[in-house]
Amino acid sequence: LGGKVVTMSDSNGYVYDPNGIDLAYVKDLKEVRRGRIKEYAETHKDAIYVADCTKVWTVPCDIALPCATQNEINKESAEALVKN
């Protein structure tokens, strides 16, 4: 449908890549090398890493999928998500 994934997170922080997340790289990073997503920003020039998972909800988006854990979004995060 033309959607583009621009953020991903782990327990330490999140990566934002305005060009879209490189899924092949992420699969290798996580499934083969068992690396952390911080490494993604070190190899993708336009990507940034933010060492705070709660700030991922401040990134403008059309669809957000908070699906990794329960109770991940508090009041402040929900307000930021609606605003963006």
Q: At residue 72, does pLDDT exceed 80?
A: no
Average pLDDT, the chain: 90
- Assess if residue 67 is contained within a domain: yes
* CB-based contact 37:2 (threshold 8 Å): no
Number of separate domains in the chain: 1
Write out the residue range of the structural domain in which residue 79 sits.
Answer: 7-83
User: Is the predicted pLDDT of residue 50 greater than 80, yes or no?
Assistant: yes
Mean pLDDT for the stretch of residues 51-63: 88
Indicate if the pLDDT at residue 29 is higher than 70.
yes
Its pTM stands at 0.84
- 2 domain residue, yes or no: no
* Amino acid letter, residue 15: V
Contact between residue 15 and residue 56 where contact means Cβ atoms under 8 Å apart: no
Residue 50 lies in a domain: yes
Query: What pLDDT, on the 0 to 100 scale, is given for residue 69?
Result: 67
Residue 73: CB atoms within 10 Å: 15
**Residues paired with residue 50 on neighbouring β-strands, in sequence order:** 14
User: According to the model, what pLDDT value does residue 5 have?
Assistant: 95
Q: How far apart are CA 83 and CA 69, in angstroms?
A: 22
